[in-house]
Amino acid sequence: MNTDITRGTVRARAKEVLLDAVRGLTLAVAVLPLGVAFLVLTLLSVAFVPLGIGLFTTPAILTGVRALADVHRRLAEEWCGVRIPAAYRPMPAKANPWTRTFRLLGDPQVRRDVLWLPVSVTAGFVTALLPALLVFYPVEGFLLAAGLWRPYVSGAGGTYWYAFVPVSDQTSAFGAGGLAAVLAVVAYRFVPRTMKAHFKLGRAVLGGDAELTERVRVLTETRRDAVDTSAAELRRIERDLHDGAQARLVAMGMDLGTIEMLVEHDPAQAKQLLAQARRNSAEALEELRDLVRGIHPPVLAERGLGDAVRALALRLPLPTEVTVELPGRADAPVESAAYFAVSEVLTNAVKHSGADRIWADLHHTDGRLRITVTDNGKGGAAVGAGSGLAGVERRLGTFDGVLAVSSPAGGPTMVTMEIPCVLS
Amino acid sequence: MRVVVAEDLFLLRDGLVRMLTAFGFEIAAAVESGPELAHALAELEPDVAVVDVRLPPTHTDEGLQCALAARRARPGLPVLVLSQHVEQLYARELLADGTGGIGYLLKDRVFDAEQFVDAVRRVAAGGTAMDPQVIQQLLSRRSAEDRPLGRLTPREREVLELMAQGRSNAGIAAQLVVTERAIAKHTSNIFAKLGLEVSDDDNRRVLAVLAHLDQDR
């Protein structure tokens, strides 16, 4: 049993080593000429910029360099699982050659790509070729030991050097075989690591602070969205107060003033106005209540996300099953974002899905708050421009949250939201 | 009748005390926080408590929790809960033990002093006083999804709403300005249409209605 497993893993490992050797060889053979060519072309092209020719050739060549770097990135991910982030600056669609050239040369990512070329034809070449050498060189050693030394060693006293072993007869050929065996073991142990090292080298040069740059870009974007949203929200609240509660209170004040005058000589009309003033005050309260619910729902403040979603479900016209497994409460802004996201998704489901049942599931695992809303409707929901789901995505984005929608035609629709957060 | 009032805003607390005193209640205590309320309910044994949902120190649902805890300690203790907003979730929790003597109203309802005091008296007597908003939410939700309520005439729906709020036939008759006999006819029609057994007990009527409205939860 145990040996079977060992044999299995050995075979898998041997296969991996062999595959890496072939890949390394291909890489080395392809990268060296392409790298050198692009390096020379880039240098020449940049040198010709003052003459004007470079303005036309540089963008094309740099695009080629980027393509080569992109291939390297893709292979790193596919072969060794090494993710190399890239953060190219966006290029305006209709830029003249001048801006194009200088934009490209000013892009730190492009500069890293160019810097990567000399590294890839030197250190990169060695690390790519090494696996192939480690795998294929021992083969020659074994063949020498098996008798291949004869044609290599011409006549008596001739010597063929296998690495540092002088092969002149069968005994020394066995020595070469021994060295080959040692090399094979080394290959078996180190080839996958060498291959990984090759791509990690690429990442060190190509990656740079790309991850950080990308992160900054995302943060800038979500911050702008958040600011936009909250500004719009403030405008809405201001307008609602102005047109609603405030106006009603003014009307009430006026009614009370009139009542003050009327109360002596026309008590009947005063009474009527009093009733009206009371209605106005009740309606002002009603409007304030709705407004408060729109800003921060009272149940959310009092009980937290779980009960707030339960209360929300009770107000929906469709039977909605809510399961909550939250051992604590998240920060207020996260709770609020999650609540309004769920609210939007549920409203969408009620309005558009044609479902007759909805399930909402809230739980917290591995530092993430995960909320799933499923309905048995007709499906076909998509996150796109103008859809409510895009708004939800933006709302969650502020907290690094993500939204996934699975909604095949014919249903069911399942919307999953995840927000990294800690519960207290 | 001895009342404990719990409300953290001075103006509202003062107003409540004045109104209840004017209608002949005796104020056993007027408190402004959860712990004080818990203490007053345990020590003073009032006939009824009027409690705001949100109280210090947590400013969450402290008042509601206090009321529920006091009712667990003293089953059937009449509590009228007031709130700036009404939620079915809270209404369910209050009604859950099924012993009656429960009220849950929007704070706005104090505008109509007589109706409000009537609600306090009803709760003190072991009846219920549910806010029309809660009832409307329940009724609109149910009628959207199943038929029995759709078969009610508009008048019968009106009667059902008032009944669900906890009013007696006499109360409903007064409200709708018709005879009590007409209401009795409506109620028996409603019970027949909803398949409920007739009962004279106000409290059981509400619970029956709510239980029916609640059955798929």
Cα dihedral angle (A21, A23, A29, A30), rounded to 10 degrees?
-170
What tokens were used for B48? 């009824």
Same domain? For A346 and A271 the reply is: no
> What band does B120 get if pLDDT is binned at 50, 70 and 90?
very high
Does residue B39 register a pLDDT over 90? yes
Q: B211 to chain A nearest CA, in Å?
A: 15
Interval B166-197: pLDDT, tens: 888 888 898 888 898 998 888 888 877 776 66
Q: Among all chains, which residue has been given the structure tokens 């911050």? A: A223
User: Which position has the higher pLDDT, A145 or B200?
Assistant: A145
Both tokens of residue B30? 């007027």
Q: Do A285 and B108 touch (CB under 8 A)?
A: yes
Pick from A281, A289, A316: CB nearest B84:
A289
Chain B residues lying within 8 Å of A299, measured CB to CB: 87, 89
Q: A371 pLDDT exceeds 90?
A: yes
Do A336 and A393 share a domain, yes or no? yes
Whether the predicted model's global pTM rises above the 0.80 cut:
no
Q: Is residue A336 part of a domain?
A: yes
Put simply, the answer to whether B53 touches A317 (Cβ < 8 Å) is no
Considering only residues B203 and B139, tell me which one the structure prediction assigns the higher pLDDT.
B139
End-of-domain residue from the set A208, A242, A275 = A208
Q: Taking CB atoms and an 8 Å limit, are A314 and B54 in contact across chains?
A: no
Whether residue A385 is predicted with pLDDT greater than 60 in this model: the reply is: no
Asked whether residue A189 is assigned to any structural domain, the reply reads yes
Q: How confident is the model at residue B217 (pLDDT cuts 50, 70, 90)?
A: very low
Asked if the interface predicted TM-score (ipTM) of this complex is over 0.85, the answer is no
Same domain flag for A311 and A414: yes
Q: Nearest CA to CA, how far is B5 from chain A (Å)?
A: 21
Q: CA B12 to CA A337: how far, in whole Å? A: 33
Beta-bridge partner residues of A414: A374, A406
Per the CB < 8 A criterion, the answer to whether A385 and A407 are in contact is no
Strand pairing report for A413-420 and A368-375: antiparallel
Tokens of A330: 């998240």
What is the structure's pLDDT at B184? 87
Residues B123, B129, B130: CA angle, nearest 5 degrees: 150
Q: Is residue A220 part of a domain?
A: no
Closest partner residue to A319 among B88, B108, B145, by Cβ?
Answer: B145
Chain B residue set in contact with A, beta carbons under 8 Å: 53-54, 60-61, 83-85, 87-89, 107-108, 111, 137, 140-141, 144-145, 216
CB B80 within 8 A of CB B50: yes
- Those residues with Cβ within 8 angstroms of residue B105's Cβ, 6 or more apart along the chain or in another chain: B80, B81, B82, B83, B86, B116, B119, B129, B130, B131
Name the β-bridge partners of A99.
none
Closest Cα in chain A, distance from residue B149 (Å): 14
Q: For residue A259, what are the domain limits?
A: 228-295
Q: Rounded mean pLDDT of A278-290?
A: 88
Residue A390 distance to chain B (closest CA, Å): 29
Domain count across chain A: 3
Task: Write down the pLDDT at residue B197.
Answer: 66
In the prediction, which pLDDT does B216 show? 47
pLDDT in tens, A326-370: 999 999 999 999 999 999 999 989 888 888 899 999 999 989 999
DSSP A243: I
What integer pLDDT is reported at residue A80 of this predicted model? 84
For residues A249 and A203, membership in a common domain is answered with no
- Token pair belonging to B77: 């203790």
pLDDT at A54 over 60: yes
Whether A93 maps to a domain, the answer reads: yes
Query: How many angstroms separate the CA of residue B89 from the nearest CA in chain A?
Result: 6
List the single best residue of B85, B111, B139, B146 to mutate versus A (max A Cβ within 10 A): B85
- The minimal CB distance from B89 to the residues A282, A285, A311 is found for A311
- Domain membership of residue A221 (yes or no) is no
| Co-location of A261 and A321 in the same domain | no
Cβ-based neighbours of A9, under 8 Å, separated by 6 or more: none
Length of chain A: 424
Check CB contact under 8 Å for B60 and A301.
Answer: yes
Please report whether residue A110 resides in a domain: yes
Mutate to test the interface with A, among B54, B108, B134, B139 (most CBs of A within 10 A): B108
Task: Give the pLDDT band of residue B199 (cuts 50, 70, 90).
Answer: low
Domain-located, residue A253: yes
Instruction: Please identify, among A274, A295, A316, the residue that sits at the C-terminal boundary of a domain.
Output: A295
Of the residues A141, A175, A208, the one at which a domain ends: A208
Q: How many residues does chain B have?
A: 217
pLDDT tens digits, A1-21:
455 667 778 888 888 888 888
- Does any domain span residue A214? no
Please indicate whether residue A417 or residue A213 has the higher confidence score (pLDDT): A417
Q: Inspect the interface and report whether the beta carbons of B88 and A314 lie closer than 8 Å.
A: yes
Q: Are A314 and B140 a contacting pair at CB < 8 A?
A: no
Name the DSSP class of B192. H
**Over 60: is that where the pLDDT of A232 sits?**
yes
